[in-house]
């Protein structure tokens, strides 16, 4: 045993957040001696991983809503409560961390009444760290959350809510069983593509996989059927059996809508096949990752990937590098823009390389979001300032309690994907919480910012950006590139350009041999002659020399100060 045992990935432990939902089946004996099996699923709280939460809710009967005794109800808590209510789940409010010296239980109870609209008298007081009140939580689950309803139609029906890849056993499928039972030797069939397999092992998740003889309706567990074809498995698909086929598939999950797009290329172009396999395996475990083939003049073949946010992008990049040992180059993240041509045609563009000539464009519209920010009222001015910096417009604000307020803004998504969340956490000293939903498109003044290194345009560094911010971004990026690109025997100009107009420039000075060292005394024209000869050589070298751009240079452009 160790702390945070369900946050088993290295990245989760380092960052102190939950990224991946984890399932566990817990045997519980009530004080009266009756035995129960509780299937629990631990879900992430960050807005980038809300898709994990919506998937978990589709396979559950109830939800435990946790509020921190010192921080109170956060914006994500509200968003996840609405998700649980949409699924018609029984909700139990729990106040955790009551052992903290800064715990204010009455204040949080008040918020549960006012913000969440739940009965605070029903709220359970718990300290998971010390163990206070945990037994009461189990009893409340048994008493207040309904058991799964089971239909006996003689058919077999189960929902795939997650899966992961094992190098020795193939795809391991996580299922919630709605009808019938499953055991070793059964033949199963996926309803989306009618692929059939023979079951080799079934079992429960009890921190590690615990094999069982069979799984019954209402249970949550896994099965292994030697599935090597990753494309056969789709999360949200219904599993049935050819001889006990169910009438219709379960509802599944709505497809996630990616909001941030970036291209990934392997540093060594020979690793393209490995990258393809790694993305397929990662997709099993992260259904919200969307990718398609892409190619670049500078970087060769790669994939254009869609993510639910910048944290999601960072996590995917780290998982590919750690779990599959692939070095990657990422292009600048962008969002989807709606471009209306002069001819009247409308196109959605998320890649700077597809951006048309400005003379062909009638107007460009960018995606906007409705943001809800919950903060203590003393930070109101700071939050206003940050939102205006990011081109936000305040729509309204209201007091939730005497000193906590909910502020609503309309913000351009392109601004939010960079460092908005980090800035918000900084100016509110960690007390601000943020949640958002898409709110359509609005017209914007967009330009394509290109970078030229030694006079050559590097397509992987191009980005689509609002005109007002283009110059500051170009200057900052040129400075960073100057620090990252190694010096050569010739001068390297680094330029930021919009179309043919250069708006920023930095120069990497050349290494220079002292050719006049052997001239002592004598006429100055001898020295000048040698320097002119060197100058011509450098000029010739500049024409044929190529500049290697290290991977760190691509990443430095993405990072802000």
Specify the CATH number for the domain of residue 536: 3.30.70.2570
* Residue 530, domain member (yes or no): yes
Task: Check if the beta carbon of residue 261 is closer than 8 Å to that of residue 291.
Answer: no
Q: Is 237 helix (H, G, I), strand (E, B) or coil?
A: coil
**Cα separation, 325 vs 333, whole angstroms:** 22
Q: Side by side, which strands form the sheet with 290-296?
A: 290-296, 300-307, 260-266, 328-330
Looking at the structure, do residues 364 and 453 belong to the same domain, yes or no? no
Residue 39 backbone dihedrals phi, psi, to 5 degrees:
-100, 110
Q: What is the tens place of the pLDDT at every residue in 61-88?
A: 888 888 888 888 877 777 778 778 887 8
Looking at the structure, do residues 182 and 302 belong to the same domain, yes or no? no
442: β partners: 366
Looking at the structure, do residues 17 and 136 belong to the same domain, yes or no? yes
Helix (H) or strand (E) holding 225: none
* Residue 150, domain member (yes or no): no
Q: What is the CA radius of gyration of the chain?
A: 29
* Residue 151, domain member (yes or no): no
Q: Is 368 helix (H, G, I), strand (E, B) or coil?
A: strand
- Cβ atoms < 10 Å from Cβ of 391: 18
Q: What is the tens place of the pLDDT at every residue in 299-335?
A: 778 888 888 777 778 788 888 888 888 888 877 777 8
Domain end position, chosen among 304, 330, 356: 330
Judging by DSSP bridges, how do beta strands 182-183 and 124-125 pair with one another?
A: unpaired
Range of the domain at 346: 337-444
Q: What is the tens place of the pLDDT at every residue in 116-158?
A: 778 878 888 888 888 888 888 888 888 888 888 777 777 888 8
**Cα separation, 29 vs 9, whole angstroms:** 30
* Residue 198, domain member (yes or no): yes
Per-residue pLDDT, 255 = 67
Per-residue pLDDT, 248 = 75
Task: Check if the beta carbon of residue 326 is closer than 8 Å to that of residue 274.
Answer: yes
Q: Find the CATH number of the domain harbouring 179.
A: 2.40.30.10
Task: Check if the beta carbon of residue 438 is closer than 8 Å to that of residue 326.
Answer: no
* Residue 52, domain member (yes or no): yes
Looking at the structure, do residues 296 and 343 belong to the same domain, yes or no? no
* Residue 245, domain member (yes or no): no
**For 165-208, what is the HEC assignment?**
EECCCEEEEEEEEEECCEECCCEEEECCCCCEEECCEEEEEECE
Per-residue pLDDT, 291 = 84
Per-residue pLDDT, 7 = 59
Q: Find the CATH number of the domain harbouring 51.
A: 3.40.50.300
Looking at the structure, do residues 304 and 324 belong to the same domain, yes or no? yes
Looking at the structure, do residues 163 and 104 belong to the same domain, yes or no? no
* Residue 413, domain member (yes or no): yes
- Known binding residues are 96-99
Judged on CB neighbours under 10 Å (0-12, 13-18, 19+), 555 is middle
Looking at the structure, do residues 30 and 128 belong to the same domain, yes or no? yes
The residue among 474, 360, 382 whose CA lies nearest residue 428 is 382
DSSP readout, 476-497? HHHHHHHHHSPP-SS-EEEEEE
Task: Check if the beta carbon of residue 341 is closer than 8 Å to that of residue 360.
Answer: yes
Structurally, the chain folds into a number of domains equal to 5
Q: Find the CATH number of the domain harbouring 297.
A: 3.30.70.870
**Cα separation, 441 vs 527, whole angstroms:** 64
- Known binding residues for GTP are 96-99
Q: How many residues does the chain have?
A: 561
**Cα separation, 458 vs 318, whole angstroms:** 24
Domain end position, chosen among 414, 444, 474: 444
67: β partners: 95
Judging by DSSP bridges, how do beta strands 90-96 and 124-125 pair with one another?
A: parallel
**Cα separation, 445 vs 364, whole angstroms:** 7
Looking at the structure, do residues 131 and 189 belong to the same domain, yes or no? no
What lies within 8 Å, CB to CB, of 446 at 6+ separation is 337, 364, 366, 464, 465, 466, 467
Task: Check if the beta carbon of residue 312 is closer than 8 Å to that of residue 306.
Answer: no
Helix (H) or strand (E) holding 270: none
Q: Which residues of the chain have pLDDT under 50?
A: none
Tokens of 211: 């094999």
Looking at the structure, do residues 322 and 343 belong to the same domain, yes or no? no
pTM of the model as a whole: 0.66
**Cα separation, 459 vs 450, whole angstroms:** 7
Terminal alpha carbon distance of the chain: 40
Centroid of chain to Cα 355: 25
**Cα separation, 347 vs 228, whole angstroms:** 38
What lies within 8 Å, CB to CB, of 257 at 6+ separation is 438
Domain end position, chosen among 405, 428, 444: 444
């Amino acid at each position: 045993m160790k702390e945070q045992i369900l946050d088993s990935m290295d990245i989760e432990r380092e960052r102190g957040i939950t990224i991946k939902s984890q399932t566990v089946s817990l045997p519980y004996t009530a004080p009266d001696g009756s035995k129960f099996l509780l299937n629990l699923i631990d879900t992430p709280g960050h807005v980038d991983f809300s898709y994990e939460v919506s998937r978990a809710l589709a396979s559950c009967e109830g939800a435990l809503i946790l509020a921190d005794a010192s921080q109170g109800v956060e914006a994500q808590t509200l968003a996840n409560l609405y998700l649980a209510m949409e699924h018609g789940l029984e909700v139990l409010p729990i106040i955790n961390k009551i052992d903290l010296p800064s715990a204010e239980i009455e204040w949080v109870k008040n918020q549960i009444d006012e913000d969440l609209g739940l009965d605070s008298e029903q709220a359970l007081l718990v300290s998971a760290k010390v163990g206070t009140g945990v037994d009461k939580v189990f009893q409340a689950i048994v008493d207040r959350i309904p058991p799964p309803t089971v239909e006996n139609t003689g058919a077999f029906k189960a929902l795939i809510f997650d899966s992961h890849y094992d190098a020795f056993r193939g795809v391991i499928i996580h299922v919630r069983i709605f009808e019938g039972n499953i055991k070793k030797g059964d033949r199963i069939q996926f309803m989306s593509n009618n692929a059939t397999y023979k079951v080799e092992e079934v079992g429960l998740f009890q921190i590690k996989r615990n094999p069982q003889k069979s799984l019954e309706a209402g249970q949550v567990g896994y099965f292994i059927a030697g599935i090597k074809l990753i494309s056969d498995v789709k999360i949200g698909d219904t599993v049935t059996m050819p001889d006990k086929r169910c009438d219709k598939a379960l509802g599944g999950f709505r497809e996630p809508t990616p909001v941030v797009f970036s291209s990934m290329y392997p540093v060594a172009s020979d690793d393209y096949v490995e990258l393809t396999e790694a993305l397929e395996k990662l997709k099993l475990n992260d259904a919200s990752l969307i990718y398609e083939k892409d190619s670049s003049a500078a970087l060769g073949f790669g994939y254009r990937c869609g993510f639910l946010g910048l944290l999601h992008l960072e996590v995917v990049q780290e998982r590919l590098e750690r779990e599959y040992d692939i070095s990657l180059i990422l292009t600048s993240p962008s969002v989807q823009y709606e471009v209306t041509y002069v001819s009247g045609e409308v196109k959605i563009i998320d890649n700077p390389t597809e951006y048309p000539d400005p003379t062909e464009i009638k107007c460009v519209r960018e995606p906007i979001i409705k943001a809800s920010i919950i903060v203590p009222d003393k930070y109101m001015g700071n939050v206003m300032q940050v939102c205006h910096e990011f081109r936000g417009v305040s729509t309204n604000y209201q007091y939730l309690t005497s000193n906590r307020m909910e502020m609503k803004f309309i913000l351009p998504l392109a601004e939010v994907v960079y460092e908005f969340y980090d800035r918000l956490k900084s100016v509110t000293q960690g007390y601000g919480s943020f949640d958002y939903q898409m709110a359509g498109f609005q017209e914007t003044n967009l330009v394509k910012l290109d970078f030229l290194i030694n006079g050559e345009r590097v397509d992987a560094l191009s980005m689509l950006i609002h005109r007002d911010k283009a110059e500051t971004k170009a200057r900052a990026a040129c400075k960073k590139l100057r620090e990252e690109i190694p010096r050569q025997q010739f001068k390297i100009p680094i330029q930021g350009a919009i179309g043919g107009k250069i708006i920023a420039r930095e120069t990497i000075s050349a290494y220079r041999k002292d050719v006049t060292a052997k001239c002592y005394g004598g006429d100055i024209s001898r020295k000048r002659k040698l320097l002119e000869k060197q100058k011509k050589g450098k000029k010739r070298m500049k024409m044929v020399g190529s500049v290697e751009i290290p991977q760190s240079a691509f990443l430095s452009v993405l990072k802000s100060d």
